Chains A and B, each alone.
Chain A
Amino acid sequence: MSKTQIFIKGLIKENPVLVLVLGTCPTLATTTSVISALAMGLAATAVLVCSNMAISALRKIIPDTVRIPCYIVVIAGFVTVVSMLMQAFLPDLYEMLGVYLALIVVNCIILGRAEMFARKNTVGDSALDGLGMGFGFTLALLAMSTVRELFGSGTWAGYAIPYLANFKIPILTQAPGGFFVFGLLIATVAALTSGEYPKKNSFDCEGCPNAKFCGRDVCAEKESEENAHA
């Protein structure tokens, strides 16, 4: 896979939010406003790039048995660094993101990319993957927050939009509206990509922490069932 492909795949084809359906919690929580969505996207991108690079650099040193605790320590470290820097230099954004900034630690995208990509690839490729996935996450948040803020609050990034400000749909700023817009965007991306999703070998048994216990036969059974249906 070329460097460009590594970077681009995260934007649409393997978009972490709209195709892989990872990081749903911050996606729903922070997309009520464009500013908070952008801040969350960029904070997660910074953590993703740094943690991917660190994990890739340490991949030959970290023993397999403790790799998940090591990844969590590295990711939590970078999240705390980003959190401290935001509190010091961007206090308004820090307060806007609230508890969701700290929750980047448990964002599935970050641990997922560490497990699926960074631990098998070079530092440069891992950085590109983190950047692509981070921009894909930010892009998805931006699209979703634009729809929710524009039609839910009649504003965009805090600026009132003349006509829409008089015809708000407030439910879009609440949880049900979030799920509704999320579903619409997933459908749109599925239509744009003709419903293609990442090949199964992206999620093979090699990276699965349960493979040791299931005997690597659960996925094989599922695959044979799918083939039978096809």
Chain B
Amino acid sequence: MNNRAKSILVLTLICLIVTALLAFVNLVTAPVIEESNAQKVQNSLRSALPAADGFVALDLTGDMPTTVTGVYQAENGSGYAVTLKTKSQYSSDKMGLTVGIGADGKIAGIVLTSYYESKDFGKESYPKTYLDADADTYASVSLVSGVTYSSTAFRNAVGDAFTAYQIIKEAAQ
């Protein structure tokens, strides 16, 4: 076998073996990751809307912004929680957040559920700057210097949460 054919064959075989290994590990870890993510969403709903005693998942209509992954209604009528995924700057993993909007239309809590960027805009502190903002005032919250791409994505996602909130409210009327 000539050298070129051997090179192609060996590289292809190594790629196939590594792919098989990854498929096997994915088979083992995927259910665990899924369960862990679901648990994280449930925890984030409780943190974003502490007044709620339970949540009911609502169907997403076609008009929802593409960043919205779920809308949940509090069983005691204290508001809605919206889960979102949006692209941040460098990481291929999306930024995730849960926005809790009270019955008065103001933000009751925001939780950053995933953020993989190397530049941190304050995972705990930045979401708190949006507390009590409503659909008219959220856009006036400042961005973070040096992390403008991700903080802009965060602010736009908050706007999408208000859009989802409006759609759900109008559908309920």
A residues near B, CB below 8 A? Answer: 29, 58, 61-63, 65-66, 69-70, 73-74, 76-77, 80-81, 84-85, 87-89, 91, 95, 98-100
Contact = CB atoms under 8 A, between A and B. Distances in A.
B103 interface: no
Contacts of A91: 36, 40
10 contacts: A63-B7, A66-B11, A81-B25, A84-B25, A88-B33, A91-B36, A91-B40, A95-B114, A95-B115, A99-B118
B22 A80 contact: yes
Nearest to B15: A73
Contact of B91 (A69, A73, A98): A98
Contact of A70 (B11, B25, B40, B114): B11
Q: Is the interface of A mostly helix, strand, loop or mixed?
A: helix
A91 B116 CA distance: 12
B14 interface: yes
A66 B7 contact: yes
Interface string B1-22: 0010011001100110010011
Pick from A29, A65, A66, A89 the residue with the most CB of B within 10 Å: A66
Contact of B117 (A65, A69, A88, A98): A98
B117 A99 contact: yes
A74 B36 contact: no
A85 B14 contact: no
B69 to A, nearest CB: 18
A89 B11 contact: no
Given A70-B14, A77-B21, A87 B116 contact: no
A69 B14 CA distance: 10
Contact of B118 (A58, A61, A70, A98): A98
Given A99-B117, A100-B118, A61 B10 contact: yes
A158 B33 CA distance: 26
Interface of B: 3, 6-7, 10-11, 14-15, 18, 21-22, 25-26, 28-29, 32-33, 36, 40, 90-91, 114-118
A84 B91 CA distance: 16
Nearest to B123: A95
A89 B28 CA distance: 11
A74 B91 contact: no
Given A63-B7, A87-B29, A87-B33, A77 B18 contact: yes
Contacts of B18: 73-74, 76-77
B11 A95 contact: no
A65 B18 CA distance: 20
Given A73-B14, A76-B18, A88-B28, 19 more contacts: A62-B10, A62-B14, A66-B7, A66-B10, A70-B10, A74-B18, A77-B18, A77-B21, A84-B33, A87-B33, A88-B32, A88-B36, A89-B29, A89-B32, A91-B40, A95-B115, A95-B116, A98-B115, A99-B90
A62 B11 CA distance: 8
Contacts of B40: 91
A69 B11 contact: yes
Contacts of A70: 10-11, 14
- For the complex of A and B, the 10 pairs showing the least CB-CB separation, nearest first, are A77-B18, A88-B29, A88-B32, A66-B7, A63-B7, A98-B116, A84-B29, A66-B11, A88-B33, A81-B25
A65 B6 CA distance: 10
A21 B110 CA distance: 42
Nearest to A81: B25
A60 B14 CA distance: 14
Contacts of B29: 84-85, 87-89
A69 B26 CA distance: 23
A65 B116 CA distance: 36
